[in-house]
Chains A and B, each alone.
Chain A
Amino acid sequence: MRRRFVVALVLMLGAIASLAQVQPTDTKYMISLHTGYAHNLTYGSYATFDLDAYVPIHQHFDMQANLRTSTANSHSLGVQLRPKFALPVGELYIEDRLMMRFVACDEFNEFLHAISLGYMMEYVNVQVGVYTRVIQPLPYIPRSEDELICEPFDVLYRVEAFVRPRTSPWNISLALSNVDNYQVERMWQPMFYLGGWYDINEHWRVRMSGKLKLAGMFHLNAHYYASELRVGAEYRF
């Protein structure tokens, strides 16, 4: 019953998202391409390729799509819908995230739906929410003994600090989160990010970021698990 409810909720929110009206806006569209070197204890070394698009639908509503493919044969596709509201200081936003990850190398799919509330300020971005994960073993045979595995309720969070105001032509940020554009880890599996950008001109921005994922922090036996270095460029129309 609970699983049906979750699936219905995911479908309903997807439908709402697809019906969102495109409004004239003066915020810039953006497309970005990144490539990265990644390593983890399971796959070893592999390369990642990311294509992201940012679509400002309305001054109070934007959307982002993220696609990742990797030489580890694990791929993800995500959509984020973000109603936002300017406050006297900073901006409050709600993020509705749908994500699919196709872990073809290990014959699993996972589907995630997350809702979070965020507060973006000049130097700090804080986001907290909840998500549901449904794991589908492959090949999946409906009504067989194998189950769709539902992890019904977990928490996502992101705390990010910038060394300069967000509107600066260059910046460096440090973040702690269990979520990025291409994966959502369980709550007790935080990831650390260090990133920065530099605006070459009005249209082009280059970005570089690093990620560190430890295993077992809440086993109290922390151990290196994964790292990633990404570089790429954004084009703003």
Chain B
Amino acid sequence: MKKNIQIYLGSLLSVFSIILTACGPDARLDMAGMFAGSSPKIDDRFTESQVYNNQHGFCTLQAPAEDYHVYVCTDTHITKTQKRWINFIETYRQDMLCPVAVHLGDIIDAQNHFDEMYSAYQSVPMNPAKSDTLMAIAGNHDIYFKQWPQFIELFKTCTYYFIVRTPSGAQDLFICYDSADGTVGSKQLQWLTQTLQWADTQGFRHIVACTHTHFFKRDYSQGHTSNYTTEETFALLNLFAKHGVEMLWSGHDHAREVTKVKGMTCIVVDSMKDGDKNPFYMLVTMGKSISYEFIPVD
């Protein structure tokens, strides 16, 4: 309890210091967003994503083997340095068993850093021996300061699914959804429900849901990160559990947490921000079962 109080007081101090340093042209945080977010709202963002999805469809990737790898990172908070981000890209591109990597949001830290992020991504040589797919979801930092248009220009959609097919024809479904507002909104919730109902009929080997915001508040690891409302927490968990989702991957909290609930494993992946202590990404092996391990970036 004493430790908790210390952590709590520390987090309060951090919040006040953040508020005090959140002004000026180099501001990291869009404090006006406390009362009105500057990017389009979740229903509008969802609609934009759906326009792209309707025009281009959803992606099916070919896995190189029955047991393949998915690299998962989050909270890179890219600013002027991109060391760990580059390290992550180099690693997953070298892995011949990896058909896809997933970024769970907070790709950049604040305004005007998408260019640096993309330059760093392009600076890593492609592996000619394999295809290269990076899936991404917006985190709250990615849409501060009216940055949604930049995100959507780069990544095209923020609510989508993709399928990975193995050589034997088994298929794994990955559902990515937008929670950068701390809510999924009503339209996206409806889409999630319909998509999962459709998935029930397709005989997927595994179903995984990926998003930015984490579900529980079991500690004060980052202090001021907020979750979904309690109603939405319960509704989403129940929806996913009823439709056979096995894993929920999220970030936002900057600290690892694994929780078993209703037969699902909810994983909060560590931060990979340059300068943060204990940066890890998650290496997931999708086979007959799903296994995961956390790999230090540095």
Beta-carbon contact of B182 and A146 below 8 Å: no
Q: Which of A42, A155, A186 contacts B189 (CB 8 A)?
A: A42
Beta-carbon contact of B8 and A216 below 8 Å: no
- The distance from the CB of B223 to the nearest CB of chain A, in whole angstroms, is 9
Beta-carbon contact of B37 and A222 below 8 Å: yes
Q: Which of B31, B41, B261 contacts A137 (CB 8 A)?
A: B261
Q: Write the B121-159 contact mask toward A (1 if CB under 8 angstroms, else 0).
A: 000000000000000000010011000000000000000
Docked pose: A145 CA to B264 CA in angstroms: 10
- Which of B81-89, B161-169, B194-202, B229-237 lies on the face that meets chain A? B229-237
Most B CB within 10 A of own CB, among A152, A153, A220, A223: A220
- The distance from the CB of B245 to the nearest CB of chain A, in whole angstroms, is 14
Say if the beta carbon of B30 comes within 8 Å of chain A.
Answer: yes
Beta-carbon contact of A106 and B217 below 8 Å: no
Query: For this complex, into which size category does the number of interface residues on chain B fall?
Result: 35 or more
Q: Which residues of A in the span 11-67 have a Cβ within 8 Å of any Cβ on B?
A: 40-44
Q: Which chain B residues border A222 with CB–CB below 8 Å?
A: 33-37, 181
- The distance from the CB of B114 to the nearest CB of chain A, in whole angstroms, is 17
Beta-carbon contact of B186 and A215 below 8 Å: no
Docked pose: A107 CA to B224 CA in angstroms: 28
Beta-carbon contact of B234 and A103 below 8 Å: yes
Beta-carbon contact of A151 and B181 below 8 Å: no
Docked pose: A142 CA to B21 CA in angstroms: 48
Docked pose: A193 CA to B243 CA in angstroms: 37
CB within 8 Å for A108 and B238 given contacts A41-B185, A221-B144: yes
Beta-carbon contact of A215 and B228 below 8 Å: yes
Say if the beta carbon of A147 comes within 8 Å of chain B.
Answer: yes
Beta-carbon contact of A223 and B260 below 8 Å: no
Closest to B252 in A: A219
Q: Which residues of A in the span 208-229 have a Cβ within 8 Å of any Cβ on B?
A: 213-223, 225-226
Q: Which of A74, A106, A183 contacts B237 (CB 8 A)?
A: A106
Docked pose: A218 CA to B229 CA in angstroms: 12
Say if the beta carbon of B59 comes within 8 Å of chain A.
Answer: no
Beta-carbon contact of A108 and B227 below 8 Å: no
Q: Which of A146, A188, A213, A226 contacts B225 (CB 8 A)?
A: A188
Say if the beta carbon of A185 comes within 8 Å of chain B.
Answer: yes
Beta-carbon contact of B232 and A42 below 8 Å: yes
Say if the beta carbon of A180 comes within 8 Å of chain B.
Answer: no
Q: Which of A189, A213, A221 contacts B181 (CB 8 A)?
A: A221
Say if the beta carbon of A149 comes within 8 Å of chain B.
Answer: yes
Docked pose: A60 CA to B156 CA in angstroms: 62
Docked pose: A135 CA to B36 CA in angstroms: 31
Docked pose: A149 CA to B230 CA in angstroms: 13
CB within 8 Å for A219 and B232 given contacts A149-B216, A186-B226: no
Beta-carbon contact of A221 and B259 below 8 Å: no
Docked pose: A154 CA to B12 CA in angstroms: 12
Size of the A side of the interface (Cβ < 8 Å), in residues, is 42
Q: Which residues of A in the span 161-197 have a Cβ within 8 Å of any Cβ on B?
A: 183, 185-186, 188-189
Say if the beta carbon of A233 comes within 8 Å of chain B.
Answer: no
Docked pose: A189 CA to B227 CA in angstroms: 8
Say if the beta carbon of A199 comes within 8 Å of chain B.
Answer: no
Q: Which chain B residues border A218 with CB–CB below 8 Å?
A: 34, 182, 224-226
Say if the beta carbon of B277 comes within 8 Å of chain A.
Answer: no
Say if the beta carbon of A150 comes within 8 Å of chain B.
Answer: yes
Say if the beta carbon of A110 comes within 8 Å of chain B.
Answer: yes
- The distance from the CB of B193 to the nearest CB of chain A, in whole angstroms, is 11
Q: Which chain B residues border A189 with CB–CB below 8 Å?
A: 226-227, 229-230
CB within 8 Å for A183 and B230 given contacts A149-B261, A188-B224, A221-B143: yes
Closest to B30 in A: A220
Q: Which chain A residues border B180 with CB–CB below 8 Å?
A: 216, 219, 221
- The distance from the CB of A40 to the nearest CB of chain B, in whole angstroms, is 6
CB within 8 Å for A216 and B235 given contacts A137-B262, A149-B259, A151-B217: no
Query: Which 9 A-B pairs rank lowest in CB-CB distance, beginning with the nearest?
Result: A216-B182, A221-B37, A220-B33, A188-B226, A215-B183, A218-B226, A219-B140, A106-B234, A106-B238
User: Residues of B at under 8 Å CB distance from A?
Assistant: 1, 4, 8, 29-31, 33-39, 41-42, 140, 143-144, 180-186, 189, 213, 216-220, 224-232, 234-235, 237-238, 241, 259-263
With A189-B229, A216-B183, A221-B181 given, name 17 new contacts (CB 8 A): A42-B232, A44-B186, A149-B218, A151-B216, A153-B1, A153-B8, A185-B229, A185-B230, A186-B227, A188-B224, A213-B229, A217-B34, A217-B182, A219-B182, A221-B39, A223-B182, A225-B229
User: Residues of A at under 8 Å CB distance from B?
Assistant: 40-44, 74, 103, 105-108, 110, 135, 137, 145-147, 149-155, 183, 185-186, 188-189, 213-223, 225-226
